[in-house]
């Protein structure tokens, strides 16, 4: 990606834009683009490209859009290799934060241990699914039943390990899903049903106590049935063995499997046919019949009436059922727990180590906390889980003001109390995450940086400049930096040494183009270096406000007044010649070479007017010196018109500051009520808006002129030139 060719048409107001960005010598290209020219549209088009979206013109969607971005070999740039840094996105969070959290050696060992445990866990969970009928969320259900919290499956199993290895259960054939689903659980929780279940259970327990063979909590029909099954399985009766059952007054001999089954069935029938128990069940059954949604549950209960007493305590019954399933598959369970035991100790050691690791994530935090001036510090709350479990990082903020103790605050509350600049700093934090992740992943990237420093104070603005400069020399990174702030533009230009890779924007009705920067880093340096060349009168004029400021600062009072008379119409304005102007410059700019510059006796005011007319006729007015000449000429012509209309020399002579503004106000006093002057008033007000009242030596103060369209200034000059001066 040594060169990028961009071809854009009909995208977000860009009619046509063709440009080549060369990164072979400079890894960043810089664009100064006044607001409304193309900056945001350019960035949006690149953002769409990176998101695989075809850009279009929102106002004229029928226009055919073109969005082509290629490298030096005419290959389309990979969409993943473009990242647009917008001025501010309130809810932006980098999706790559987690990748910065990983210590690869620890993670690799941790994953190997987990993979072995997960294999055994997968086999065991499938057996539980078969027994319970639960397919989704089984691990969380078991975790909640045994530990009262989610995502704790293995520890929940560990809690009941001793019990399931020492107990037996005959409930493994009861399907969990037939009982514990949303509708049934809601039904079981109603008070009226709880009372009916309690009544039924009381009667059932009483019958068990009076049974000939069964005993509550000791030996019921489940145990009896299991004994019958085991005896059959092991050929007990076929070997001519017999068993005895204790009845009330005698022992009953059982000589066959069928006889045992019949005794169990008879005893259960005698219990279930009890009138009081039947009445209790009928009351429960009536509730079940009243609800269409519970029909399946009713059918299930009719075939499993012996579990009804368990329903009086659903939570305990849940535990019994899951224990029953575990007992049924105890071999698989013990294999899983043995693997868990083997890996758990090492997992704990790795986790403890992970919590102390200084990863790339911490480097990002250090960069942000040390460089940016904001009332909060950043840390991460769940470092272990991010490193080892791939959880999303939980960024933690500590807010503190001067003298106050740090207070933990969540992102939403923090956003509510931060200034716009501080919010943007929080946004920059996520941008840094993205950049560092791309660096770590060796992802070649073209960053489109759109006015990233807007609304920042100077300290944070320079922190951004410093960070952009850092990444300029790391990784396979290129940058196209766009800004409407001339001060920021000059700062980047100087810090990044981007001579030859910095541009201004030229725009007309049909297209936008890049214009290579023709200034030095300081325009005054350029003008001083070039003023000695022939036919450089426009540079001579452009230097007037600069040298005027120097005269004021250095105590050249008379020269200051004379130069002021070239920025405003004064009594001596028409008397100042080009030769006298050069003499003033020579006195203030000691040692300055004026070379072949014509030192004529021509009037400077007329020279200004002539040079301005040439600029408007040539149609080239993007250089700063040309805009300054146009502005000075516009102001002088406007003042000539105003002074002639006001026709009060003494009033004008007594104006010592803000002359243009005061003349306009005086003009309005005389002529605002005259209809024929309304167009002239509007035009003069444009002059006040479009030509800065004070032009300072600090070059960034020229930003209003740089932002001003040369075409607009040219049109304004032509209109002012047409005003009749009497």
Q: In the structure, how many helices (H) and strands (E) does the chain have?
A: 32, 14
Is pLDDT larger for residue 391 or for residue 187?
187
Q: What is the pLDDT of residue 447?
A: 96
**Per-residue pLDDT reduced to its tens digit, 506-517:** 888 889 999 888
Predicted TM-score (pTM) of this structure: 0.59
The top-scoring range by mean pLDDT among 280-289, 387-396, 456-465, 664-673 is 664-673
The top-scoring range by mean pLDDT among 268-282, 394-408, 643-657 is 643-657
Give the strand pairing for 3-11 and 512-516: unpaired
Tell me the average pLDDT across 41-62: 94
Q: What is the mean pLDDT of the chain?
A: 82
Residue that is written with structure tokens 């992970």 in the block: 354
Q: Is the pLDDT of residue 280 over 90?
A: no
Which region among 136-145, 301-310, 434-443, 561-570 has the lowest average model confidence (pLDDT)? 301-310
* Six-digit token string for 623: 């250089």
Tell me the average pLDDT across 659-673: 89
Local confidence band at 92 (pLDDT 50, 70, 90 cut-offs)? confident
Q: Give CA 540 to chain center in angstroms.
A: 50
Q: Give the Cα separation of 342 and 120 in Å (integer).
A: 13
Q: Is the pLDDT of residue 340 over 70?
A: yes
**Per-residue pLDDT reduced to its tens digit, 597-650:** 767 888 999 999 999 999 999 877 778 888 889 999 999 999 999 999 999 988
Q: Give CA 590 to chain center in angstroms.
A: 55
**Per-residue pLDDT reduced to its tens digit, 179-194:** 887 778 887 787 877 7
| Residues facing residue 289 across a β-bridge | none
**Per-residue pLDDT reduced to its tens digit, 286-319:** 777 666 667 777 777 777 777 778 888 888 988 9
Say if CB 448 and CB 482 are below 8 A apart.
yes
* Six-digit token string for 612: 């301005």
**Per-residue pLDDT reduced to its tens digit, 95-122:** 766 565 556 677 778 778 888 989 999 9
Give the strand pairing for 395-399 and 407-409: antiparallel
Closest C-alpha to 585, from 604, 569, 606: 604
Closest C-alpha to 229, from 173, 300, 313: 173
Q: What is the pLDDT of residue 699?
A: 46
Q: Is the pLDDT of residue 336 over 60?
A: yes
b/e burial code for range 699-713 (CB count within 10 A of at least 16 → b) = beebbbbbbbbbbeb
State in Å, rounded, how far the first CA of the chain is from the last one: 63
Apex 559 CA angle, 556 and 565, nearest 5: 140
Q: Give CA 455 to chain center in angstroms.
A: 18
- Strand arrangement of the beta sheet that strand 512-516 belongs to: 66-70, 3-11, 14-22, 512-516, 502-507, 28-32, 477-483, 445-450, 82-85
Q: Is the pLDDT of residue 212 over 70?
A: no
Please provide residue 53's backbone torsions phi and psi, each rounded to the nearest 5 degrees.
-115, 135
Q: What is the pLDDT of residue 175?
A: 86
Local confidence band at 68 (pLDDT 50, 70, 90 cut-offs)? very high
Which region among 109-113, 136-140, 312-316, 542-546 has the lowest average model confidence (pLDDT)? 109-113
Q: Give the Cα separation of 268 and 225 in Å (integer).
A: 11
Residue that is written with structure tokens 């306009």 in the block: 664
Contacts of 458 (CB under 8 A, 6+ apart): none
* Six-digit token string for 637: 């012509």
Apex 179 CA angle, 175 and 182, nearest 5: 130
Please provide residue 101's backbone torsions phi and psi, each rounded to the nearest 5 degrees.
-90, -5
Closest C-alpha to 316, from 422, 443, 179, 468: 179
Other Cβ atoms within 10 Å of 15 Cβ, number: 18
Q: What is the pLDDT of residue 704?
A: 64
Please provide residue 246's backbone torsions phi and psi, each rounded to the nearest 5 degrees.
-75, 120
Helix or strand or coil: residue 395? strand
Tell me what percent of the residues of the chain surpass a pLDDT of 70.
Answer: 84
Which region among 204-213, 302-311, 697-706 has the lowest average model confidence (pLDDT)? 697-706
Tell me what percent of the residues of the chain surpass a pLDDT of 90.
Answer: 30
Give the strand pairing for 395-399 and 376-380: antiparallel
DSSP collapsed to 3 states, 571-624: CCHHHCEHHHHHHHHHHHCCCCCCCCCCCCCCEHHHHHHHHHHHHHHHCCCCCH
- Strand arrangement of the beta sheet that strand 376-380 belongs to: 376-380, 395-399, 407-409
Please provide residue 594's backbone torsions phi and psi, each rounded to the nearest 5 degrees.
-100, 0
Q: Give the Cα separation of 145 and 139 in Å (integer).
A: 10
Say if CB 10 and CB 60 are below 8 A apart.
yes
Q: Is the pLDDT of residue 361 over 90?
A: no
Say if CB 130 and CB 472 are below 8 A apart.
no
Q: What is the pLDDT of residue 211?
A: 67
Q: Give the Cα separation of 157 and 59 in Å (integer).
A: 63
The dihedral over CA atoms of 105, 106, 108, 114, expressed in degrees to the nearest 10, equals: 170
Q: Give CA 219 to chain center in angstroms.
A: 64
Which region among 175-189, 232-246, 344-358 has the lowest average model confidence (pLDDT)? 344-358
Q: What is the pLDDT of residue 700?
A: 44
Say if CB 372 and CB 427 are below 8 A apart.
no
b/e burial code for range 101-129 (CB count within 10 A of at least 16 → b) = bbbeebbeebeebeeebeebbeebbebbb
Say if CB 331 and CB 224 are below 8 A apart.
no
Tell me the average pLDDT across 26-34: 92
| Residues facing residue 11 across a β-bridge | 14
Burial class (CB in 10 A: 0-12, 13-18, 19+), 637: buried
Identify the structural domains of the chain with CATH numbers, from first to last: 3-101+415-516 (3.40.50.300), 106-173+329-351 (no CATH), 176-303 (no CATH), 523-721 (no CATH)
* Six-digit token string for 44: 């949006």
Q: What is the pLDDT of residue 290?
A: 64
Tell me the average pLDDT across 465-491: 87
């Amino acid at each position: 990606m040594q060169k990028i060719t961009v071809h854009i048409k009909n995208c977000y107001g860009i009619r046509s834009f063709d440009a080549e960005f060369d990164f072979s010598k400079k890894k960043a290209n810089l664009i100064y683009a006044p607001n409304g020219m193309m900056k945001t549209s350019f960035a949006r088009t690149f953002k769409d490209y990176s998101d695989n979206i075809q850009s279009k013109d929102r106002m004229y969607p029928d226009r055919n859009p073109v969005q082509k971005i290629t490298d030096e070999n005419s290959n389309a740039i990979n969409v993943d290799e473009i990242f647009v840094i917008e001025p501010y996105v309130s809810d932006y969070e980098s999706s790559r934060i987690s990748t910065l959290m990983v210590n690869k050696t620890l993670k690799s060992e941790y994953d190997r241990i987990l993979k072995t445990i997960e294999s055994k866990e997968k086999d065991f969970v499938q057996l539980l699914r078969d027994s319970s009928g639960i397919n989704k969320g089984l691990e969380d259900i078991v975790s909640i039943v045994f530990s009262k919290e989610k995502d704790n499956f293995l520890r929940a199993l560990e809690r009941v390990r001793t019990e399931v290895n020492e107990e037996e259960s005959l409930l493994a054939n009861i399907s969990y899903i037939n009982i514990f689903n949303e509708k049934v659980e809601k039904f079981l929780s109603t008070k009226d049903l709880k009372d009916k279940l309690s009544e039924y259970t009381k009667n059932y327990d009483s019958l068990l106590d009076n049974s000939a063979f069964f005993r509550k909590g000791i030996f019921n029909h489940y145990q009896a049935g299991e004994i019958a099954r085991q005896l059959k399985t092991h050929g007990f009766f076929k070997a001519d063995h017999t068993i005895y059952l204790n009845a009330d007054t005698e022992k009953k001999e059982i000589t066959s499997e069928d006889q045992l089954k019949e005794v169990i069935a008879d005893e259960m029938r005698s219990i279930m046919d009890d009138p009081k128990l039947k009445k209790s069940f009928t009351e429960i059954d009536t509730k079940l019949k009243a609800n269409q949604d519970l029909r399946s549950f009713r059918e299930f209960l009719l075939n499993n009436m012996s579990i009804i007493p368990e329903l009086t305590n659903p939570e305990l019954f849940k535990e019994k059922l899951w224990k029953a399933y575990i007992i049924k598959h105890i071999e698989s369970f013990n294999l899983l727990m043995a693997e868990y035991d083997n890996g758990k100790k090492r997992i704990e050691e790795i986790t403890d180590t992970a919590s102390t690791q200084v990863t790339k994530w911490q480097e990002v935090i250090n960069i942000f906390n040390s460089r940016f001036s904001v009332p909060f510090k950043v840390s991460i709350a769940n470092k272990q889980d991010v490193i080892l479990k791939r959880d999303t990082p939980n960024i933690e903020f500590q807010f503190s003001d001067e003298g106050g103790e740090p207070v933990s605050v969540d992102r939403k509350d923090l956003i509510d109390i931060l200034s716009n600049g501080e919010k943007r700093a929080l946004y920059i934090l996520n941008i840094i995450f993205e950049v560092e992740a791309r660096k770590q992943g060796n992802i070649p990237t073209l960053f489109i940086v759109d006015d990233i420093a807007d609304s920042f104070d100077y300290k944070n603005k320079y922190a951004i400049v410093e960070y952009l400069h850092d990444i300029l020399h790391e990784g396979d990174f290129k940058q196209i930096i766009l800004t409407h702030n001339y001060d920021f533009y000059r700062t980047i230009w100087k810090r990044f040494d981007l001579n030859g890779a910095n541009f201004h924007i030229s725009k007309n009705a049909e297209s936008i183009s890049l214009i290579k920067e023709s200034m030095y880093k300081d325009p005054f340096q350029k003008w001083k270096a070039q003023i000695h060349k022939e036919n450089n009168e426009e540079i001579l004029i452009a230097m007037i406000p600069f040298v005027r400021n120097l005269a004021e600062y250095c105590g050249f009072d008379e020269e200051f007044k004379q130069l002021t008379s070239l920025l405003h119409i004064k009594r001596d304005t028409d008397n100042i010649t080009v030769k006298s102007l050069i003499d003033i410059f020579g006195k203030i700019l000691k040692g300055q070479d004026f070379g072949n510059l014509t030192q004529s006796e021509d009037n400077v005011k007329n020279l200004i007017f002539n040079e301005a007319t040439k600029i408007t006729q040539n149609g080239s007015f993007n250089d700063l010196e040309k805009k300054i000449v146009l502005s000075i000429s516009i102001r002088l012509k406007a003042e000539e018109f105003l002074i002639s209309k006001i026709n009060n020399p003494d009033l004008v002579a007594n104006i010592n500051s803000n002359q243009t503004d005061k003349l306009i106000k005086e003009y309005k006093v005389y002529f605002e009520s005259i209809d024929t002057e309304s167009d002239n008033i509007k035009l003069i007000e444009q002059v006040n808006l479009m030509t800065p009242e004070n032009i300072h030596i600090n070059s960034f103060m020229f930003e209003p002129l740089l932002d001003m369209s040369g075409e607009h200034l040219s049109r304004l000059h032509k209109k002012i030139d047409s005003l009749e001066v009497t």
